[in-house]
């Protein structure tokens, strides 16, 4: 949909501005961006009557810098927002940052350590002050880098998850969830980082296949003995049972009995539980409820005690010879002690298994029983699933919806407390007599002796889950919230579909009375190298987008990323492709410079149809197709197709054909030249607008030079006009292109220099509708008219009935041309034989769809025509 739009003209259009001989991105980008910001072109007006279009930026970490994943994500968002803004929407792209609890605390703690201090030396209040100081001085470097990429965000609305407004939103929703019994405190198994000393969410845990050791241990003796297998022998010190499957006949006689736990002297029961996999190991598993999530569930079902054997730093605390050992020291020590007692039945080394690591510090995560705060996700997750199922939210590409449902339909309760000092502190106070009070933003904090606030802070994802509505002023009923919520599109990588997207869905639907946080979730893939390999410093294939911007320009960087962006698919990139994108920007620059030097204009209406040449009608018709295709591709989030369509239209149709066809017309002058100048200006005007969302800097610079206006940031966006569709002109130019292309191919195969002239006759042009184009064909193909003494030494029979006879004496390598034609004949014979074989096979002809059979017949006809043409060309070659 395209709605009314103004062009934001800052001055009366004047004469086209001169362009430098070559495009220099560094000279244009900073100047253009400051012009956009100072001119207020990115500001969104909540009082406007235009249709709203809203994107809230996935908030980058305050500790972060622009990496290639950000560059892809921001390029896609910016392209969507810029197009809607040009279409006349009130477009809001809201920027901001996440306080990144663990990452930011780690940064500041490292800085303190370099000064010989720890956070405990400062105390909580002073430490938090130091974090705010760091944020003011060093945090948010990525915001400046977003400017370099060209992000058209509304900087006046920048938000931070720890600012006053968003902090008020956090307190409000915590209180609401608490009062609705959707937040509770309990002892559960959580992901624990012994380095960061905090609980972690699932998204903060990276899993990898690590080498370990699978040890089989015999518990008990004689008929009562049972063998269990484990990769973490040290946790046996906390075993409180052995579990077997209730249908496993091998152990049914042992269920309900007890067995002695080695090294401890404790006796533990053997229980039957359906969670056990009889095919794994011996079919019996040790149960350590305090150190394994599955064991915890078994323990709950069988009322088993939970024995914590390690402290927060993963150091063994149980009395005995292993006390004080780190988990990695305790593991071989426990195995050695068991081996000494003859209880090691088998050892498998190496044994590869999945191990979780803290995404921040890479420390192996320790499952740990801990008293934490949780969100009861059951009803919230059901609502999040329903919003997609009933169509309120659309996931693009649609096939990824299955992965979304697999997550929300099986979501565990969410651990939201973190043992940090930086973040939103949990708004719960405990009284001297066991009271517990949850305090909202407008409630009075309990005071008096013995009252204390919970020490933990909230998971960073808790505040970022509010991002689509807290950034618009919630819990207050602001004009921005009424105008711009629900947001239009969420653009993000498929890797956080389960975590951040699902959390925003849950909280948005809950807080906003069932209104979804966004209408569409547009998922893109991960950026990879040109071979599809994951980027890694160890592989040496990591791309720094700032380096590419420095060397090739922001537009080339953006175009390279967008040109690989298919919905939900990984995005391959390479430096060579970025160089190609820079060349594309240069091609646009040179084409526009040529147009300006030859008087192209955007002023006034296009000439009447009768005043236009078939070449002008052709390019206008092609333009209408391209506008329609690009609109369709944008709506489907097919950014790679948008770029490919515009690349080929600009490079092939406009630069390689139309500009070249226009040169002799412009050189001849007269009314035809005036019409071509107007058409050339019109086509470039539309092309630059279509490209602007993806490559904004060079297109804005060129468009201003072409039109004399300040900027095209606010449009208008081109609309396809069916009145300019012209099938006849397109067919005519397609025939012309076939002739020129075939001659150029012949010239290339013969190694002729581009400017070298060849004498030739052209027959059949009138029958092909090309009689009027003979001068153009000769100009483009570098063909001279025949003179006395002309003798054809080569001939080209071109589809459509055109024959070209060339006098190649002294210019053509006859042997090379014969070899080329023989190669082409072999390929055509192979194609014809394959087609005849299929058409001669009754099983194929009878069963294949009619359209498929017709296509094979068409291929055979083309192959036979090629064979006739090649035979004629070979016949025409001189014998020596």
Binding residues for ATP: 537
Q: What is d(CA 321, CA 727) in angstroms, rounded to the nearest whole number?
A: 89
Backbone angles phi, psi at 477, to 5 degrees: -85, 80
- Backbone phi, psi, residue 670, to 5°: 85, -175
- Is the distance from CB of 601 to CB of 680 less than 8 angstroms? no
Q: Which of 512, 503, 521, 515 is nearest to 463 (CA)?
A: 503
| Angle in degrees, CA 347, 352, 357, rounded to 5 | 120
In 3D, which of 719, 735, 718 has the Cα closest to residue 727? Answer: 735
Q: Is 663 exposed, middle or buried (0-12, 13-18, 19+ CB in 10 A)?
A: middle
Residues near 789 by beta carbon (within 8 Å), at least 6 away in sequence: none
Q: In this structure, what DSSP letter does residue 650 have?
A: I
User: DSSP letter at 422?
Assistant: S
Tokens of 200: 């972690």
Secondary structure E strands in 679-833:
758-763, 783-784, 794-798, 802-807
Question: For residue 395, what are the β-bridge partners?
Answer: 521
Tell me: cis bond preceding 412? Omega within 30 of 0 counts. Answer: no
> How many other CB atoms are found less than 10 A from the CB of residue 837?
11
Cα-based distances in Å from 657 to 582, 726, 728, 777, 873: 21, 17, 17, 11, 27
- Please state, in angstroms and rounded to a whole number, the distance separating the CA atoms of residues 741 and 652: 12
Q: Beta 758-763 vs 783-784: how paired, if at all? A: parallel
Contact 192, 527 (CB under 8 A): no
CB 6 within 8 A of CB 702: no
Cβ atoms of residues 646 and 626 within 8 Å: yes
Closest CA relative to residue 505, chosen from 513, 494, 517, 493: 517
Distance CA 767, CA 771 (A): 8
Residues 134 and 122: their CA atoms lie apart, in Å, by: 15
Cis peptide before 716, with omega less than 30 degrees from 0? yes
Task: Name the one residue in this structure whose structure tokens are 């030097």.
Answer: 597
Long-range contacts, 427-435 (Cβ 8 Å, 24+): 427/171, 427/174, 427/175, 427/453, 427/454, 428/178, 428/185, 428/453, 428/454, 429/453, 429/454, 430/454
* Residues recorded for the chain: 880
Q: Which of 449, 452, 458, 383 is nearest to 416 (CA)?
A: 458
Residue list for the binding site? 537
How far is residue 318's CA from residue 323's CA, in Å, rounded to a whole number? Answer: 6
- Taking the C-alpha atoms of residue 312 and residue 383, their distance in angstroms, rounded to an integer, is 36
What is the C-alpha to C-alpha distance for residues 554 and 696, in angstroms, rounded to an integer? Answer: 9
Residue 601 CA to residue 615 CA, distance in Å, equals 18
Return the structure tokens found at 251.
């152990």
Residue holding tokens 């053509």? 812
Interatomic CA distance for residues 659 and 653, integer angstroms? 9
**Alpha helix stretches (DSSP H) within 180-324:** 293-301
The Cα 678–Cα 607 span in angstroms is 8
State the Cα–Cα distance between residues 465 and 870, nearest whole angstrom: 67
């Amino acid at each position: 949909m395209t709605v009314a739009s103004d062009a934001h003209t800052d001055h009366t259009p004047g004469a086209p501005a001169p362009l430098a001989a070559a495009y220099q991105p560094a000279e244009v980008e900073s100047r253009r961006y400051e012009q956009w910001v100072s001119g207020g072109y990115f500001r969104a007006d909540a009082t406007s009557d235009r249709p709203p279009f809203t994107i809230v930026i996935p908030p980058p970490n305050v500790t972060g810098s622009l990496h290639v994943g950000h560059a892809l994500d921001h390029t896609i968002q910016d392209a969507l927002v810029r197009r809607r803004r040009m279409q006349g929407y009130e477009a809001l792209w809201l920027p901001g940052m996440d306080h990144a609890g663990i990452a930011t605390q780690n940064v500041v703690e490292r800085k303190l350590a370099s000064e010989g201090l720890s956070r405990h030396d400062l105390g909580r209040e002073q430490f938090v002050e130091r974090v705010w100081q760091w944020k003011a001085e060093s945090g948010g470097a990525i915001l400046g880098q977003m400017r370099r990429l060209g992000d058209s965000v509304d900087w006046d609305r920048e938000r931070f998850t720890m600012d006053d407004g968003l902090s008020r939103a956090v307190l409000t929703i915590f209180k609401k969830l608490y009062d609705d019994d959707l937040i509770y405190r309990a002892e559960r198994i959580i992901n624990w980082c012994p380095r960061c000393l905090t609980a972690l969410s699932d998204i903060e845990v990276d899993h990898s296949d690590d080498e370990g050791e699978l040890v089989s241990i015999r518990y008990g003796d004689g008929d009562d003995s049972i063998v269990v297998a484990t990769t973490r022998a040290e946790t046996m010190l906390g075993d409180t049972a052995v579990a077997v499957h209730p249908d496993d006949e091998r152990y049914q006689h042992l269920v309900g009995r007890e067995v002695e736990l080695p090294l401890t002297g404790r006796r533990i029961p053997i229980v039957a539980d359906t969670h056990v996999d009889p095919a794994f190991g011996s079919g019996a598993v040790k149960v350590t409820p305090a150190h394994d999530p599955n064991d915890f569930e078994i323990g709950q079902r069988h009322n088993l005690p939970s024995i914590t054997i390690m402290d927060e730093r993963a150091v063994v605390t149980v009395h005995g010879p292993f006390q004080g050992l780190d988990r990695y020291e305790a593991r071989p020590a426990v195995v050695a002690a068991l081996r000494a007692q003859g209880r090691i039945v088998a050892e498998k080394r190496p044994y590869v298994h999945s191990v979780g690591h803290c995404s921040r510090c890479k420390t192996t995560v320790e499952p740990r029983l801990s008293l934490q705060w949780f969100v009861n996700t059951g009803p919230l997750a059901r609502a999040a699933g329903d919003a997609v199922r009933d169509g309120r939210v659309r996931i693009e590409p649609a096939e990824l919806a299955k992965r979304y449902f697999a997550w929300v339909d099986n979501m565990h309760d969410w651990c939201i407390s973190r043992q940090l000092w930086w973040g939103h502190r949990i708004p719960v106070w405990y009284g001297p007599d066991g009271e517990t009070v949850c305090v909202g933003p407008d409630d009075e904090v309990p005071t008096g002796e013995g009252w204390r606030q919970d020490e933990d802070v909230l998971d960073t994802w808790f505040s970022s889950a509010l991002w689509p509505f807290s950034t618009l002023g919630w819990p207050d009923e602001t004009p921005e919230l009424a105008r711009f919520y629900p947001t239009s599109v969420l653009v993000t990588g498929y890797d956080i579909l389960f975590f951040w997207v699902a959390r925003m869905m849950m909280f948005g639907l809950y807080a906003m009375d069932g209104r979804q946080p966004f209408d569409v979730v547009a998922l893109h893939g991960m950026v990879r190298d040109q071979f599809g390999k994951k980027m890694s410093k160890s592989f040496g294939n990591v791309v720094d987008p700032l380096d590419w911007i420095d060397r090739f320009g922001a537009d080339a960087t953006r175009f390279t990323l967008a040109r690989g962006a298919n919905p939900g698919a990984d995005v391959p990139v390479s430096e060579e492709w970025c160089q190609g994108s820079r060349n594309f920007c240069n091609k646009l620059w040179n084409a526009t410079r040529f147009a300006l030097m030859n008087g192209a204009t955007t002023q006034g209406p296009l000439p009447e149809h009768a005043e236009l040449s078939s070449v002008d009608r052709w390019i206008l018709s092609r333009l209408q197709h391209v506008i329609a295709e690009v609109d369709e591709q944008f709506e489907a989030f097919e950014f790679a197709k948008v770029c490919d369509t515009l690349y080929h239209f600009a490079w092939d149709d406009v630069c390689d054909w139309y500009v070249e066809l226009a040169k002799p017309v412009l050189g001849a002058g007269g009314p035809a030249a005036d019409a071509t100048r107007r058409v050339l200006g019109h086509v470039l005007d539309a092309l630059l607008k279509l490209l602007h969302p993806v490559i904004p800097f060079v297109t804005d610079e060129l468009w201003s030079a072409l039109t004399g206006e300040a900027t095209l940031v606010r449009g208008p966006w081109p609309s396809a006009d069916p009145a300019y569709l012209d099938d006849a002109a397109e067919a005519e130019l397609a025939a012309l292109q076939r002739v020129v292309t075939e001659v150029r191919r012949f010239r290339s195969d013969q190694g002729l220099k581009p400017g070298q002239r060849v004498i030739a006759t052209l027959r059949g042009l009138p029958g092909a509708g090309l009689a009027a184009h003979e001068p153009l064909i000769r100009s483009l193909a570098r063909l001279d008219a025949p003179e006395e003494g002309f003798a054809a030494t080569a001939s080209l029979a071109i589809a459509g009935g055109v024959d070209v006879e060339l006098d190649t004496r002294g210019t053509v390598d006859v042997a090379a041309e014969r070899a080329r034609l023989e190669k082409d004949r072999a390929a055509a014979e192979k194609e014809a034989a394959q087609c005849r074989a299929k058409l001669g096979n009754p099983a194929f002809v009878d069963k294949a769809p009619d359209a498929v059979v017709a296509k094979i017949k068409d291929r055979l006809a083309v192959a036979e025509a090629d064979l006739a043409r090649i035979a004629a060309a070979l016949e025409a070659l001189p014998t020596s």
